[in-house]
Amino acid sequence: MAKEILQIENINATDFKNEIVKDVTQALKGYATTLQNPDNEILLTREETAKMLSVSLVTLWDWTKKDIIPAYRIGNKVRYKKAEVLTALQQMNKFVSK
């Protein structure tokens, strides 16, 4: 494993500390934004998704092929975003009002 060396010149300790605090604060703000809605990025397996929807794997596959529920292929695995599954479920359960 190669070591990285950082050499800092012509900066005082206070300015260096302020730069670090500023960058860490920006990074944490970005991270906090993703944490506000943590379900958005949770990936579910086919089995977890089918269980959550109380359907068989065959039904889930059929809905995936019909683009009712979006799926993502990661290598040879299929995953579903939890938020998108819940949205699709809401769409399926809407009653058409006349």
For residue 61, what is the domain's CATH number?
Answer: 1.10.10.10
- Give domain status of residue 70, yes or no: yes
- Give domain status of residue 24, yes or no: no
1 DSSP assignment: -
- Give domain status of residue 50, yes or no: yes
> How many domains, in total, are found in the chain?
1
Local confidence pLDDT in tens for the 98 residues of the chain = 677 777 778 888 898 888 888 888 887 777 666 555 555 578 999 999 999 999 999 999 999 999 999 999 989 999 999 989 988 888 877 654 44
- CA angle, residues 16, 17, 21, in degrees to nearest 5: 120
- Give domain status of residue 13, yes or no: no
- pTM for the model: 0.55
- Give domain status of residue 33, yes or no: no
- Give domain status of residue 9, yes or no: no
**Domain interval for residue 87:** 42-92
- Give domain status of residue 37, yes or no: no
CA distance 29 to 23: 10
